Amino acid sequence: MIDELTGEHRAGEGSDMGDFYQDIHWFAVHTKPHREDVAAMNIARLDLEVFLPKIKQERLICGVPRDVIKPLFPGYLFARFRPATSLHLIRYARGVLRVVSCGDIPLPVDEAIIREIQSRVGPDGYVRLEDRAPQPGDRVLVREGPLRGLTGIFERELEDRERVILLLEA
């Protein structure tokens, strides 16, 4: 059980959970809007490992192509820490809204997922997405999520939250 005031694990209550709170895990941290860098810097100041994957994309700004750098997951970063000693510090770090949790229990992110994302970071420090982006008219297969298994025609990419438009086949 976690003490509400200190964020510390109370000894003797739920030994399996005690092990969880004593072990070091990766966690997703939800940040304040557009404050991923602030949150990452403040968590790093706590001597904790932080991973804020970013992408670089070329966008037209006022008709001029420019590189735009943004988080791969807007509003989120990853931090590696021991919940028993660091959870309360992270919760109150500037730029942080919350640690992604189920109720009061922080949800760890599988180390393999973090390694996979880190393996895609190029020499320039940015995450490399698929080498070839779909082009309008390409036939695509949805591999994950609620639409998994459906096929469709890629129409176009949208801004951040919506991502793409697909014409799904019946």
Which homologous superfamily does the CATH classification assign to the domain defined by 1-129?
Answer: NusG, N-terminal domain (3.30.70.940)
So what's the pLDDT on residue 132?
67
Q: Tokens representing 45? A: 């100041």
Q: Please state, for a pLDDT cut of 90, what percent of the chain lies above it.
A: 56
User: 């070091």: which residue's tokens?
Assistant: 24
Q: What share of the chain is helix, strand, coil (3-state, %, to 5)?
A: 20, 35, 45
Q: Please state, for a pLDDT cut of 70, what percent of the chain lies above it.
A: 85
So what's the pLDDT on residue 149?
86
Cβ partners under 8 Å of residue 106, min gap 6: 27, 83, 87, 99, 100
Choice between 169 and 118, residue whose per-residue pLDDT is larger: 118
Q: Tokens representing 61? A: 């700004």
So what's the pLDDT on residue 36?
98
Residue 53 has pLDDT above 80, yes or no: yes
What's the average model confidence in pLDDT over 116-137? 87
Q: Considering only 51-55, 122-126, 140-144, 162-166, which range has the smallest mean pLDDT?
A: 162-166
Distance of CA 65 to the CA centre of its chain: 27
pTM: 0.69
Residue 94 has pLDDT above 60, yes or no: yes
Position 26 confidence tier, pLDDT thresholds 50, 70, 90: very high
Average pLDDT, the chain: 86
Say how many residues make up the chain: 170
> What residues are paired with 6 via a beta bridge?
none
Helix axes 83-91, 15-22, angle to 10 degrees: 70
Contact yes or no for 99/90 (Cβ under 8 A): yes
Position 107 confidence tier, pLDDT thresholds 50, 70, 90: very high
So what's the pLDDT on residue 141?
86
